[in-house]
Amino acid sequence: MATKFDPYAVLQALERQRVIYVVVGGLGRVLQGSDELTDGIDIVPLLREDNLRLLERALEDIKARRPDGKPVVLVQDLARGPVLELATAAGELKLVPEPAGTRGYDDLRRHAKREPIGQGLRPSVASLDDHARMLSALSREQDQEPLLTIRRLIELEHGLDRGRSLER
């Protein structure tokens, strides 16, 4: 399995199948302005049956496998734990049905925005506030630095917004 990280390939596969999801985690934070590096994609899929079928097809397209090398049996595998980690031909993909501190897709989609990232892709990305909420709820040592960055981005963005509204 190739380990090259190609977020475009993963997101294109999801787009081709019209999977409904929100991007969270490191990539979501980078798209919102964080200066961290990441080598995987975390998504929160809509857990509706038809959407999971589409997601299963997208996973086949990118040759997703469980860490033990076995093929994915989506509904069963999602039920095994809070995060389903997969290796794909384009890098790591994590499926997180209900990230810490949230109630899953329906909760995150309200403040998520479609962000143009090139190659015709406009994935839905969780908001900065929701990213802060998820990192806070995890309370892990390794999340402290990204959390401080997200909080600072929120403050800076607020300053920017204020500046813009004054200019109008």
Partner 1 sequence: MTSGTLIRQARMRAGLSQLALSERSGKDRAQIARWERDVVQPSLETLRELLQACGFDLELSLVPFSPPDPRRDARLQKALERTPQERLQAMLRARRR
Task: Determine if 83 is a binding residue for partner 1 (CB under 8 A).
Answer: no
Distance CA 41, CA 32 (A): 14
Mode of pairing for the β-strands spanning 91-95 and 40-45: parallel
Q: For partner 1, which residue of 116, 120, 163, 164 counts as binding (CB under 8 A)?
A: 116
CB atoms near residue 3 (< 10 Å): 11
Which parts of 38-86 fold into alpha helices (H)?
49-61, 74-79
Residues in contact with partner 1, counted by CB under 8 A, come to a total of 35
Shortest approach of partner 1 to residue 93 CB, angstroms? 16
Per CB under 8 A, 9 contacts partner 1: no
Q: Which residue, 135, 111, 112, is CA-closest to 125?
A: 112
Q: Does 15 bind partner 1 (CB under 8 A)?
A: no
Please give the residue ranges that form the binding site for partner 1 (CB under 8 A): 5, 7, 27, 30-39, 110, 115-118, 125, 129, 132, 136, 144, 147-149, 151-154, 156-158, 160, 162
